[in-house]
Every structure is written in C-alpha cells, then in structure tokens.
Amino acid sequence: MTDAAVFQARGIGKSYPGVRANDDVSFTVAPGEIHALLGENGAGKSTLVKMIYGLVRPDEGDMVLNGQPHQPADPRAARAAGVAMVFQHFSLFDALTVAENIALGMENPPPRRELSARIAQVSQDFGLPLNPARRVVTLSAGERQRVEIIRCLLQNPRLLIMDEPTSVLTPQEAELLFATLRKLAGHGTAILYISHKLEEIRTHCDRATILRHGRVVDSCDPREHSARTLAAMMVGGEMRPIDRSGRQAGEVLLQVKGLSLPAPTAEGTALKSVALTLRAGEILGIGGVAGNGQDELLAALSGETRSAPGSILLEGADMSRLGPEARRTAGLLAAPEDRLGHAAVPDFSLTDNTLLTAGARKQLVRKGLIDRSAARAFAEAVIRAFDVRTPGPGTAAKALSGGNLQKFVIGREVMQAPRVLVVNQPTWGVDAGAAAAVRQSLLDLAGQGAGVIVISQDLDEILELSDRFCALNEGRLSAPVPTDGLTLDQIGLMLGGAHGMEVAHL
Amino acid sequence: MIDPIALFLLLLSASTPILFAALGELVVERAGVLNLGVEGMMIVGALSGFATAYYSGNAFLGFAVAALAGALVALPFAILTQFLMSNQVASGLALTLFGLGLAALFGKPVEGVKAPSMAAGPLGLNWIVWLGLAMVPAIWWFLNRSRTGLILRGVGENHDAAHALGYDVRRVRIAAIAFGGAMAGIGGAFISVATVLQWTEGMTAGAGWIALAIVVFSNWTAVGVLAGAWLFGGVTVLQLRLQAAGVRVPVQLLSMAPYLATIIVLVAISARQKFSRRAGGAAPGSLGQDFHALR
Amino acid sequence: MIRLVPRTEASAFWQIATPVMAVAATMLAGGLLFAIMGYDPVSAIRTIFWDPLFGPAAGYSRPQLLVKAAPLILIASGLAVGFRAGIWNIGAEGQYIIGAITGAAVALAAYPASEMWIFPAMVIAGALGGWAWGMIPALLRNWFGASEILVSLMLVYVAQRIAAWMAFGPMKNPEGFGMPGSRNLQQYPAASNPELIAGTGAHWGVVAAVITVLAIWFLMSRHIRGFHIRAAGTAPRAARFAGVKPQTLVAFCLGLSGALAGMAGLFEVAGPAGQITDKVGVGYGFTAIIVAFLGRLHPVGILLAGLLLALTYIGGELAQLTLNLPAATVQVFQGMLLFFLLGFDLLTRYRITRRVTA
C-alpha cells in the first residue's frame, strides 16, 4: 500500500512566530486518487501545500514523492519532481498572453509555435477550450483557471494540487472541473484537493484528510459520512443553529432603479440597469461568481461611486449623488469585502478605525475635531458586544485574525443602528465561530427592523440568511425569487450556468 | 534655409542621452521597479565618463567606465528597495540627490578642461548614437522574445505570482536596476564626453527626469521610448535653432521648451491612458510596489 | 539565517532612534570620505557639526541657524502632509522660486510707497504664487492622471528660467547700472523682512515656521482632515470608503505645500537674499524633502531635522572657508543621510530575528 503511494507526508511540523501552523501531519495519497484536504480557514491547509510545492520549508518531518525523499528547495525543484499546483490567487500575469503565462510555469518551454500547438492539443484532450494568444486580463474567472490547469497538465504531473478551485466557479462549471479531474485521475495522476465545501468533497473525492488547528483529526472516506459529521470533525463540536425567527417585512426602505455605471477599470464590471427593492426587516441575498459586479454594486450603494440622479432612494430621499459620509448620516451603511485596506486601515488602531465610518453617527467627530475618548469608548463597545478577541482598542487592525477583524468591521456598522446595511462577503475567509456570530448579528439587525443586503459568493450563506435571492451576472441583477424551496441547481442556472463551457461539452 | 537631413542628424544626437536613460529605465520599470534616481545616475555617468576620457585620452573607455559607475551608484538603491523594503519613491529621490552631490564633489579637478575628440562613425555621427539606436531593437527583442525577458516581465507584472512559480524576484530586479544604472551612466557620459565636451556641475539639467516621463509616454515599449526621445530631441534642436536665429523671445523662455514639451506630452499620454476604453495603460502591474515574501 | 518579521505596530523606540543612528552613520561615512579625499576627518566633522554653534566664530554663525532652518521647516511641513497621503510634491523648489517672484512683484510694483499693508500683501502674494504653481501638477493629475512627481519637477526647471528672465528682464533694477537682478528689498523698509530680535537671526519667516509647525501638528493629530490624509496614504481604498475624494486631497496637499514653499521664498527674497536674481533657488526645496523624511513626517521631528540640516549648511560654508572643503560636500552629506535613514527605517517596520535553519 505505502509502496504504491504517490505522495506521503510523515510528521510534518511548521511554526510561525506565535502560531503552530502544522503539527505532526501525516497522510498518504495513492495514484489515481482524488484526495481532499479539508479544514476551516486557518487550519493549516495552505501552509501544508506550500511545503509540498517548495514555497515553504517544514521545520520537522519528511515527505516522500514516488518513493524518493521530497525536499524541494523552491517551486522549480518541486515541479521537476512532478508536483504541479493550481492556486486560488496570485499566479497569473494579467498583461501577458495565455501562452506566455503557461511558458512561465514550465522549466524548458518549447518554442512559441510548438507551445501553442501543445496548448491546443491538451485543451482539446481535456475539453478546456483556450486561445493561446489572448491576454489573461480579458479572460473570465473560469477561463483563468483553465490556464492554470493547462499549465499544470503540460508538465505531466504525478501530483496535482488544487487550492479551493471551485470558489470562483458556478455549480455547473464546478461539475465540468470535476469531470476533468476524474479523467486526469484515470491516467494515474494523484490529486490533492483543498476545500472547505463539504458537499463537493462528499460527491467527488475518494479520501479526505481533515485538519483542525494544524493537526490531522481524521482520515476517512468522505462518501461514508454525512456533511454534518464532516463539519463536526472540521470545527470540533456541533454548530449552533442560526435563529431566523422574529422578522417581518415592513415598508420599503431602499429602492434602486436603472442603476447603470461604466466599468471603473479595465478589469472591472459595468453595472447594467440594476433594480431592487428592500423592505424593513428583510434580508436580500445577492449571489454571483466573483467579478460579476459585486464590488461595483457595493461601491455604488456605499457612495464610493456616484450614479445618475434618482437611481438610489433611501426612504424616498435621493442618495445617488451623495458621498459616503452623507449616506451614512442618512442611515445607509456598508461593509466592503476586503477587510484589510478597504473596510479598515490595516496600520491604524481599532480606535482610529472607528473614525473611518462612525464619525458622524456616533458623534466621534464634531466640527472636524476628533473626540478621541469617544472613539475609544465606541471601539471598546464594539469589542465587547461582538466578542472581538484583541488586547484592546489600541491594537492595529492588521494584528487581528480575519474572523476577529470581520466581527469588528460588521459590529462597527451594526452598532451605528443603520436603516439599511449592505455587506459584501461578510464571512469570507473567516472561521466558523466568527462566521456564525456575524450571520446572527445580521439576522438580529433585520429583526430590529433594518433592511440588510448580503452580497455573497457563498450560496449556502445566502440560503441560510436571506428571504429573497437575486443573481448578479455580468453586471445585471436578476429579478428576486423567494429563497424557500430554492435548490442549488436553480441558483446555478440563475448565475449564468457554465460560462463559455458549452462548446467544450458538445 | 535649414537642411532637413542635417536637422535630423542633430536630432539623433540630441536625443541620445535621453534614449539611453529611458531605455534603461524601461527595463527597470518592466521589472516592476520605479527608480526616480535616473538623474543622479546620469550625472555620475557624466562625470566618471568625462574624467576617464580626459585622463586616459580614450573616449570609448570613458563610456565603459560611465556604465560601470552608473550601475555601481544604483547599488544603494537596489539594496534599499530590494533588501531593506524602503519606499521606492523616496529611495530614488535619495539616489538623485546623492548622485548630484557626489558628482559635484569629485568633479572639481576636471572643471574647465576639454574632452578628447572621438572618431566619428557613419554619417559623421558618434558611434554611441548608433549604439543607442541599436539598443532599441535589442531591448525590444529581449523583452518580447527572450526567456529572460519573459521572466522579467512576469516579475514586473505580478511579483507574487512570479515568486509562487519559483522565480527569484529580487535577483531579477537587482539585475534590472544595475542595467538601468549602466544605461543612464552612458546617457550622462554622452552629454559630457560627446556633446558639451566639458564637465560642469548639474549639467544633466533634468534629462533624467525627462527620461522618466518618456517611459510613461512610451506606454512601456522600446519603440515608444525611441519616439519619445526623438520628440524631445526635436524640441531641443528646434529651440536651439530659434535661439541661433535670433527670434525676439528671451533666451530664458525659449530654453523652457523641453520641459514644457515634456509636461504637455505627459499630460496628453496620461489622458489617453486614463480615458482609453481599451485595457488601460500598459504600466506593469507591480510597478513601485514593495515585495516581501514570507518563507 | 536572518529573517524579517513585520511588526504589527511601528516601534516607537526605533521611530526616534533611527534618525539619530542615521546621523551618526552619516558622520562615520562622511569621515571616511574625508579621509579618502585627504582631509583630517575629525576636524572636518567638528567644523561642520560643532563649530557653527560653539566654535570661535559661533557669534556670527549661530543666528544663521534660524535663517537657514526657517525655509526648510516651512517647506518640509507642507511636503510632509502630502507625503503622508502618498502625494509626491518634489517641485517645492519651483514653488519657492515662484513665491519669491510674486511676492517681490508686489513690493516692486508698490515701490517707493511706504504703507503698512505692503509687507503683509507680499506674504499673501508669495503664498498665492506658490499655491498656484503647486496647483498646476494637482490639476493635471486630477484631470488627466499625469504624474505629479514628474510635472512638479519639470516646473522647477521652468521656474528657474522664469527667475532668470525676471532678473535679466522685467524685474531688472532700473538703477542697477545694468547689473542683472531686481532692487534690493533689504533697502526698502516697507517691504523688507528684517531680523526681529538682534543677534538671533529670527525674521518673520521664523515666526511663520513656528506657527506652521503647530498648525500642521493640530491638523494631523486632531482634525479629521489629517486623519483622512493619513488613511489615504496607507490605505487609499479605505479612505475613499470613508468618504475622502482623492482629487480633493491631491489639490489640498499640493496647494498647501505650494503655498508654504511660496511663503518661504518670499521671506527669503525680502530678507536674507534681498533681491530676485537668476540664482533665487538655492536648493531649499530639495533639501526640505530630506528634512521631511528625517523628521519622520512629524511636525516636531521636522523642526529638529530642519535645525540639523541648517547646521550642515552653515558648517559646510565654514568648512569651505577654513578647510577648503568643496561646497558640494554638504550635498553629499544630505544624500547619504537620506540613504542611511531609509535603510535604518527597516528597524521600525520589521523585527529582525535569527533562525537556525533545519
């Protein structure tokens, strides 16, 4: 059994200052196996695969690849040994062409024309259509992933690592991806599949190694367990159920009509006559694959971008020409997706970060003068009410964990008692405990009569929170449908099905 | 009457210092580094090239030493930005101020002496002019056709991705900075050794800054740099012609022309990049950003 | 193996210690440079850093300290505000020159009137001139996205040529026997900027510098505009989310630093310099960049850094006279100082730890 393994990790350990990222991690991947690495954010999955790919060196333990000791000094050595990796972020060069991107991922790329031919061949074999001459900046998220996958396939890897590959795909696109992976596994390639999505792991993976706080808690056949048991193993203990009670849709609070905006940048998305109505006490979920206009919609609602007069009305008052400060004063608040650098200033203390949005509503700034003690008191109040784990309000935002900073950011807005709160990806990259707290606070806010818009790529989250659902697809917002009885398949179709994949599947 | 061919040959000479400096900076910026020290590296090249040419009597040796000196004086900038994580804008400014001071300090002994003459190349133009013209296709080929050039562009476009693929971001950047320094050094030496034939303090007179503007103008392409350098050379030649022709405009105002032209060109090109509906400007994605990899 | 661990908060100790270390390192490296050039390093360093204050000629050089420090502090205070916001005005030298010209223009137009309003009007005109010169890169950046770094710098060369034109043309002293340069404002009481307290060197520019330091400190630490400037510098998207319009900030920072530089130019031309010549710009605008960084972009730090760099100017002149050191020595010193400062700055942002590699 062990002799036949493609990859084996034995007692891997890795420490960063203050964090034990991996501790005594051992597992084995067999040829032709799709092996899931399952765990919460911060469980140590990324550190582990970075070690396999030569980006980080382990402090203890050893690895074996194809029966040889595996100690890659850098990713090139790892690639030479037969490891390939598809990253979640940061691995494509926007301004370069598909062919150039692929050449950069190879040790000895063939001449240009030959490389293009081989790209065409592989994309044909695996049903992944791609034009080698196109610049990556013009590709959709799904197409970008194809570039990464083909870059890996051209090297005939023995072990293929996929880091959360479906987070940028619609359910239909994800199905196609798994078909490709299955075909590849059929050729004997071992696949290490990293995810925290339980359902896809249960349906598609042969084995799952579950990590918690950097340690292996179990290794099992995921098909034999329910999603609930896997979740319990992943977070250690049962999840508190969400309380959706006590809400009733009231009068119309926010009305958006004919909201059209050009794309802010070359990579951005234009908004095309977006319309929606939000009532008091209601949560409206807006789903969509990344890059379909989520950031642009949030910016239009928060006031970072202005729109045509009359396109955004809060309780009948026109907000569309007002800036963020004036909208906050009127009661329209927002929390963007990117915690570090957008919703909060990383280098500033939590006290200073309250001044970013709460200056007017909480009287922290009067006639331009900052009331520092009031700001500190408000920061302390948010920390207490939202159980933010931090030494104190003087701590810099970047020193907090993702979950704690997110609780602070959401708490800062919720505690200003908004009439309408718009949040984008409220639990992205947040551990399960913090995610539950954030979701509950949004439900409670709606329960108190505010209107809430949740923009999210996590469909489970949307189904859990929202009363009505709209899909955002290439800057267009669909008509809302009630979430009761809505299935993932129906949502997938609303999200635009499988972009550009039809050709491959005919 | 002004002979257009003679005028064009003058233009070629006048544009050479900027052409070298801007081609060097082009490679540096394509690697993702903004080096505002071009002016400092040019003036150090101008002095070291001139002094070497004067003492050795060999102008070509002067250019070689100028290249070396330009690369060497860029070294502190490379260390600061690549190892000590210093802000690139501030470090580049420091390089300019340091270079200007250093050249002024060591330039005293060669003030007032004359450079040795150089053998002219084809069409009576200096060989260095021809070298500069040859560098345009060479750098185009390097950036767009060579493997190393591809890696350099990758590093400049997205340093995190390049690092994730196993490329040594720092090494590529340090090499690019040194190359940029060498090119700026040659450009500076051309002013002192081949044009003015003398050393005076501050003689580069903003050429390094104009070179920086031309890189923006070029939309980060080698051919664009050539066009920008020629445009600038044309304005300079024209302005000198007008002065010589005794136009009734004060000399001081005429001599503003290159700087005003640079501003106008910069504005025009920035506006085009800003309002163009195509994929924006071609500025490298990681230009000017700090890179710090945790291992 | 040595590795760098980012600090979660900038170290307060190193914030203060690194400028001191940079000065010390500059003295060491400068001493080495002098030794190479064949001078006695100890006496050279003493001449530059000690003698201006405590040496035999200190009676003459001590007042010069405030005279030289005032423009540096005025300009650097304004620059620091922009640098905090990531707006790089490196053309303060040009704004200084234009401020000197517009300020002097009021005096020359009023000559030989002796009303009380003349000097205040000159100060306002100087500030307005510098402000307008600073607004050019601001508007070009806001409207067209042109780099304020390059535009503001190009405008320095333009301003220098305007000054030369003025000195040889429109502003030339009609009673100057054909010599280039304007009337000397020191000999025109209603327009001159005299020493206020004899023997201190303190003129109105010194008063303005002190007020500016206090006002900038208040702006940056107590006012929401200062908060927004700091936020925009470290996290521009967060600042926009808070409600900051980047265009407003660009105009504010370049306008403010331009006005302060213009004022500095006026105080200089009405006082120590006395007249408009083609050499009106003496490099204060560039040295002020070093002052701003050495002072850690903090008003109090800038006050101290301005005094220190003023000292190097005076010391450099002294060394020129007594030791025959070239004038450019000071420039090299200032460049080295900035290099060392930027290098040591690492210590405030990163912890250096040693690790045994497995």
pLDDT digits (tens, 9 = 90+) for A241-267: 666 766 777 899 999 999 999 988 777
Question: Which of B35, B96, B97 to mutate against chain C (most C CBs within 10 Å)?
Answer: B97
Q: How far are the Cα atoms of A61, A151, A232, B152, C4 from residue A36, in angstroms, in the given order?
A: 21, 21, 16, 35, 34
Question: Which of the pair, A42 or A61, is modelled with greater confidence?
Answer: A61
Nearest-angstrom CA–CA distance, B132 and B138: 10
Question: Which of A298, A302, A345 to mutate against chain C (most C CBs within 10 Å)?
Answer: A345
Nearest-angstrom CA–CA distance, A143 and A148: 9
CB A286 within 8 A of CB A472: yes
Chain C partners within 8 Å of A303 (Cβ) = 243
* Residue found under tokens 């090494």: B171
Question: Which of C284, C339, C348, C349 to mutate against chain B (most B CBs within 10 Å)?
Answer: C339
Residue B115 in this model has a pLDDT that exceeds 70: yes
Contacts of residue A342, defined as CB under 8 A and 6 or more positions apart, other chains included, come to: A336, C235, C237, C238, C241
pLDDT score at B229: 94
Instruction: Name the residue facing A342 among C238, C353, C357 (closest C-beta).
Output: C238
Nearest-angstrom CA–CA distance, B39 and C26: 22
Question: Which of A15, A306, A347, A366 to mutate against chain C (most C CBs within 10 Å)?
Answer: A347
| Mean pLDDT calculated for residue range A299-318 | 94
Chain B partners within 8 Å of A96 (Cβ) = 150, 153-154, 157
Chain C partners within 8 Å of B36 (Cβ) = 149
Chain C contact for A392, CB < 8 A?
A: no
Nearest-angstrom CA–CA distance, A357 and C240: 11
> What is the three-class DSSP state of B254?
helix
Whether domain A7-235 has CATH 3.40.630.10: the reply is: no
Residue A489 in this model has a pLDDT that exceeds 50: yes
Question: Which of C 228-287 lie inside 8 A of B, CB atoms?
Answer: 278, 286
Chain A partners within 8 Å of B147 (Cβ) = 103, 109
* Residue found under tokens 């004038």: C327
Nearest-angstrom CA–CA distance, B71 and B92: 14
Q: How far are the Cα atoms of A410, A427, A457, C176 from residue A406, in angstroms, in the given order?
A: 6, 7, 16, 71
Question: Which of the pair, A39 or B43, is modelled with greater confidence?
Answer: B43
Nearest-angstrom CA–CA distance, A83 and B39: 46
Contact C241 A302 (CB under 8 A): yes
CB B267 within 8 A of CB C144: yes
Give me the residues paired with residue A65 across strands.
Answer: A7, A68
pLDDT score at A296: 93
Contact A395 C241 (CB under 8 A): no
What does the pLDDT look like over C192-205, one tens digit per residue?
887 778 777 788 88
Alpha-carbon distance B141 to nearest alpha carbon in chain A (angstroms)? 14
Residue A1 in this model has a pLDDT that exceeds 80: no
Tell me which of A88-97, B164-173, C139-148 is least confident.
A88-97
| Mean pLDDT calculated for residue range C329-341 | 87
Contact C154 B206 (CB under 8 A): yes
Chain B partners within 8 Å of C140 (Cβ) = 263, 266-267, 270
Contact B259 C157 (CB under 8 A): yes
pLDDT band with cut points at 50, 70 and 90 for residue B276:
low
* Residue found under tokens 């359902």: A199
Alpha-carbon distance A342 to nearest alpha carbon in chain C (angstroms)? 4
Nearest-angstrom CA–CA distance, C109 and C106: 5
Instruction: Name the residue facing A369 among C222, C235, C245 (closest C-beta).
Output: C222
Superfamily of domain A252-503: P-loop containing nucleotide triphosphate hydrolases (3.40.50.300)
Give me the residues paired with residue A85 across strands.
Answer: A161
- Burial label, C56 (beta-carbon count in 10 A; 0-12, 13-18, 19+): exposed
| Mean pLDDT calculated for residue range C95-117 | 90
What does the pLDDT look like over A409-459, one tens digit per residue?
999 999 999 999 999 999 887 877 888 889 999 999 999 999 999 999 888
**Of B90-99, B286-295, C90-99, where does the model show the most confidence?**
C90-99
CB A357 within 8 A of CB A415: no
CB A175 within 8 A of CB A98: no
Alpha-carbon distance B42 to nearest alpha carbon in chain A (angstroms)? 31
DSSP tag of B239: H
pLDDT score at C81: 96
Contacts of residue C6, defined as CB under 8 A and 6 or more positions apart, other chains included, come to: B292, C349, C350, C351
- Burial label, A249 (beta-carbon count in 10 A; 0-12, 13-18, 19+): middle
Chain C partners within 8 Å of A398 (Cβ) = 8
CB B217 within 8 A of CB B267: no
- Burial label, A226 (beta-carbon count in 10 A; 0-12, 13-18, 19+): exposed
pLDDT score at A506: 31
Chain C partners within 8 Å of A341 (Cβ) = 235, 237-238
Domains observed in chain B:
10-275 (1.10.3470)
Chain A partners within 8 Å of C231 (Cβ) = 345, 348, 356
Between strands A159-163 and A190-195, the pairing is: parallel
Chain B contact for C170, CB < 8 A?
A: no
Taken as a whole, chain A contains a residue count of: 506
Q: Which chains touch A (3 or more CB pairs under 8 A)?
A: B, C
Alpha-carbon distance B286 to nearest alpha carbon in chain A (angstroms)? 10
* Percent composition of chain C: helix, strand, coil (DSSP 3-state, to 5): 70, 5, 25
Q: Could you tell me the two tokens for B36?
A: 């505002």
Residue C1 in this model has a pLDDT that exceeds 80: no
Contact B164 A103 (CB under 8 A): no
| Mean pLDDT calculated for residue range B101-109 | 88
- Mean residue pLDDT of chain A comes to 86
Q: Which residue of A has its CA nearest to B279?
A: A266
Residue B279 in this model has a pLDDT that exceeds 60: no
Nearest-angstrom CA–CA distance, A370 and C149: 32
pLDDT score at B35: 94
Domain ranges of chain A: 7-235, 252-503
Give me the interface pTM, i.e. the ipTM: 0.86
Chain C partners within 8 Å of B213 (Cβ) = 147, 150, 154
| Mean pLDDT calculated for residue range A384-398 | 90
Chain C contact for A325, CB < 8 A?
A: yes
Residue B20 in this model has a pLDDT that exceeds 90: yes
pLDDT score at C306: 94
pLDDT band with cut points at 50, 70 and 90 for residue A501:
very low
Q: Which chains touch B (3 or more CB pairs under 8 A)?
A: A, C
Q: Could you tell me the two tokens for A461?
A: 């989250």
Chain B contact for C20, CB < 8 A?
A: no
Closest CA to A16 of A55, A59, A61, A66: A59
Q: How far are the Cα atoms of A160, A293, B61, B192, C322 from residue C328, in angstroms, in the given order?
A: 61, 57, 27, 19, 15
pLDDT band with cut points at 50, 70 and 90 for residue A502:
very low
Question: Which of the pair, B202 or A196, is modelled with greater confidence?
Answer: B202
Chain C partners within 8 Å of A357 (Cβ) = 241-242
pLDDT score at A445: 94
Nearest-angstrom CA–CA distance, A265 and A305: 13
Chain B partners within 8 Å of A57 (Cβ) = 295
Q: In chain B, what percentage of residues exceed pLDDT 90?
A: 51
Identity of the amino acid at C63: P
Q: Which chains touch C (3 or more CB pairs under 8 A)?
A: A, B
pLDDT band with cut points at 50, 70 and 90 for residue B258:
confident
Chain B contact for C147, CB < 8 A?
A: yes
Q: In chain A, what percentage of residues exceed pLDDT 70?
A: 94
Nearest-angstrom CA–CA distance, A378 and A371: 11
CB A144 within 8 A of CB A136: yes
CB B213 within 8 A of CB B201: no
Chain B contact for C34, CB < 8 A?
A: no
Contact C350 B85 (CB under 8 A): yes
Identity of the amino acid at A498: A
Question: Which of B 160-199 lie inside 8 A of C, CB atoms?
Answer: none
CB A112 within 8 A of CB A99: yes
Q: Which residue of B has its CA nearest to C37?
A: B106
Domains observed in chain C:
40-324 (1.10.3470)
Residue B225 in this model has a pLDDT that exceeds 90: yes
Chain C contact for B202, CB < 8 A?
A: no
Nearest-angstrom CA–CA distance, A295 and A458: 15
Alpha-carbon distance A75 to nearest alpha carbon in chain B (angstroms)? 5
Closest CA to A101 of A114, A123, A116: A116
Nearest-angstrom CA–CA distance, B277 and B281: 10
